């Protein structure tokens, strides 16, 4: 059996190799919670983000959840199970979205993701998400690619989380046009809860993204979120805001982000979460 310390060392070497690689864009989906807090969430536990920001958070997501998200040209669904009856914490997710590219026009993407996660030592969890990605452009050409994300989450106490993730660990799809390829990227995140009244998040990745956000809990059911992010390589500063309601039978979250330099770069989204 692999000892926890040995596993940590092996994963650390694996992650460091990819930090130094020449990387570009990563396949990352953001729920309304993470969008409203500047795109952060690699060290936070939220239904919907587990399969796309950090699979290691799945080990902390107790219970069962159905998640759906709606935005312009984008739909996401997520089903998770982390109960005493389950053999291993797992989730199945699907994202379909359309985006505009410079050279190829509209790009349609469908991503089917399967996530597994578990604790391998006290306060340490590891997760793996396998992706089956389909890309199609307006001309009818399409590409199919299998890849995986590997994540770690360390929680020294219930109020602090530190996350590290490798996206697209198998490398880019050489058959797809270079502009459309999702390359290997490394992301990190920090999460801190202050006296159950506020939560602070900071995330960054190897492509120059930097984001920060805060959640303020107005009462046991209502939360307000604010955030800021920037792509330092492309200079894409964005402000974000949102709100949420967490009732005993369902949760609903709304988010907005806008580029401070381009009025056409914005997003509205609404998520519905049902625990069962």
Q: What is the mean pLDDT of residues 119-133?
A: 97
Which position has the token pair 């929680």? 155
| Widest pairwise Cα distance in the chain | 55
Q: What is the pLDDT of residue 154?
A: 98
Higher-pLDDT residue of 42 and 103 is 42
Confidence label for 118 from pLDDT (cuts 50, 70 and 90): very high
Q: Concatenated DSSP letters for 58-117?
A: GGG--EEEEEEEEETTEEEEEEEEESTT-SS-EEEEEEEEEEEETTTEEEEEEEEEEEEE
Residue 10 has pLDDT above 50, yes or no: no
pLDDT digits (tens, 9 = 90+) for 23-79: 334 456 899 999 999 999 999 999 999 999 999 999 999 999 999 999 999 999 999
Q: What is the pLDDT of residue 263?
A: 86
Higher-pLDDT residue of 113 and 12 is 113
Instruction: Write the CA distances from 18 to 139, 205, 223, integer angstroms.
Output: 34, 12, 36
H/E run at residue 271: strand 262-275
Contact between residue 44 and residue 162 where contact means Cβ atoms under 8 Å apart: no
Domains of the chain: 4-275 (2.40.160.60)
Contact between residue 50 and residue 58 where contact means Cβ atoms under 8 Å apart: yes
Q: What is the mean pLDDT of residues 192-203?
A: 95
Q: What is the pLDDT of residue 15?
A: 37
Q: What is the mean pLDDT of residues 157-184?
A: 94
Q: What is the pLDDT of residue 58?
A: 98
Residue 129 has pLDDT above 80, yes or no: yes
């Amino acid at each position: 059996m692999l000892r926890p310390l040995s596993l940590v060392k092996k994963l650390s070497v694996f992650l460091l190799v990819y930090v130094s690689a020449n990387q570009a864009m990563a396949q990352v989906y953001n729920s309304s919670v993470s969008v409203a807090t500047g795109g952060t969430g690699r060290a936070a536990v939220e239904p919907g983000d587990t399969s796309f920001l950090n699979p290691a958070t799945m080990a902390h997501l107790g219970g069962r959840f159905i998640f759906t998200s709606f935005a312009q040209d984008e739909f996401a669904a997520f089903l998770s199970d982390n109960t005493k009856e389950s053999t291993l914490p797992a989730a199945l997710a699907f994202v379909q979205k359309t985006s505009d590219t410079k050279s190829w026009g509209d790009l349609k993407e469908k991503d089917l993701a399967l996530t597994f996660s578990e604790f391998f030592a006290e306060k340490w969890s590891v997760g793996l998400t396998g992706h089956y990605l389909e890309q199609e452009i307006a001309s009818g050409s399409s590409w199919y690619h299998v890849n995986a994300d590997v994540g770690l989450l360390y929680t020294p106490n219930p109020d602090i989380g530190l996350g590290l993730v490798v996206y697209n660990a198998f490398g880019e799809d050489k058959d797809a046009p270079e502009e459309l390829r999702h390359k290997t990227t490394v992301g990190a995140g920090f999460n801190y809860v202050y006296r159950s009244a506020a939560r602070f998040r900071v995330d960054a990745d190897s492509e120059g993204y930097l984001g920060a956000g805060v959640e303020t809990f107005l009462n046991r059911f209502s939360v307000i979120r604010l955030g800021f992010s920037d792509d330092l390589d492309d200079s894409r500063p964005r402000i974000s805001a949102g709100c949420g309601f967490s009732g005993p039978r369902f949760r609903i979250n709304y988010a907005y982000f806008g580029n401070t330099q381009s009025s056409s770069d914005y997003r509205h989204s609404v998520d519905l979460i049902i625990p069962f």
